[in-house]
Amino acid sequence: MPELPEVETVRRGLAPSMEGATIAQAQVNRPDLRWPFPDNFAQRLTGRHVTQLRRRSKYILADLDGNESLLIHLGMSGRMTVSGDPLGQFVHDHPAKEKHDHVILDMGNGARITFNDPRRFGAMDLIATDQSETHPLLAKLGPEPLGNTFSESYLVDALKAKNTPIKSALLDQRIIAGLGNIYVCEALYRAHIAPTRKAGRISAARIATLVPIIREVLQQAIAAGGSSLKDFRQASGELGYFQHNFDVYDRENQPCKTPGCTGTIRRIVQAGRSTFHCSQCQR
Residues catalogued as catalytic: 2-3, 58, 273
152-278 CATH, one of 3.90.320.10, 3.40.109.10, 1.10.8.50, 3.40.50.2300:
1.10.8.50
**Residue 262 CB neighbour total at 10 angstroms:** 9
Q: What is the DSSP string of 177-220?
A: SS--HHHHHHHHHHHT--TTSBGGGS-HHHHHHHHHHHHHHHHH
**Residue ranges of domains in the chain:** 4-134, 152-278
Sign of CA dihedral 134, 140, 143, 145: negative
Q: Supply the pLDDT for residue 96.
A: 81
Question: By the 8 A CB rule, do 92 and 17 touch?
Answer: no
The Cα-based distances of 84 to 10, 92, 225, 235, 240 in angstroms read 17, 4, 21, 12, 21
Q: Which residues contact 82 (CB under 8 A, 6 or more apart)?
A: 13, 14, 17, 89, 90, 111, 112, 113, 114, 235, 236
Which H or E run contains 269?
strand 265-270
Q: Is 246 helix (H, G, I), strand (E, B) or coil?
A: coil
Give the chain's end-to-end CA distance (angstroms, integer): 28
Q: Which residues contact 93 (CB under 8 A, 6 or more apart)?
A: 83, 84
Q: What is the pTM of this model?
A: 0.94
> Does position 205 have pLDDT exceeding 60, yes or no?
yes
4-134 CATH fold:
N-terminal domain of MutM-like DNA repair proteins (3.20.190)
Question: What is the per-residue burial (b if ≥16 Cβ within 10 Å, else e) of 146-160?
Answer: beeebeeeebbebbe
Segment 50-70 shows an average pLDDT of: 97
What is the rounded radius of gyration, in angstroms, for the C-alpha atoms of the chain?
Answer: 20
Express each pLDDT in 5-18 by its tens digit: 999 999 999 999 99
Question: By the 8 A CB rule, do 218 and 226 touch?
Answer: no
Residue 279 banded pLDDT, cuts 50, 70, 90: very high
Question: By the 8 A CB rule, do 30 and 102 touch?
Answer: yes
Express each pLDDT in 160-171 by its tens digit: 999 999 999 999
> Does position 91 have pLDDT exceeding 60, yes or no?
no
Q: Is 127 helix (H, G, I), strand (E, B) or coil?
A: strand
Mean of pLDDT over the chain: 94
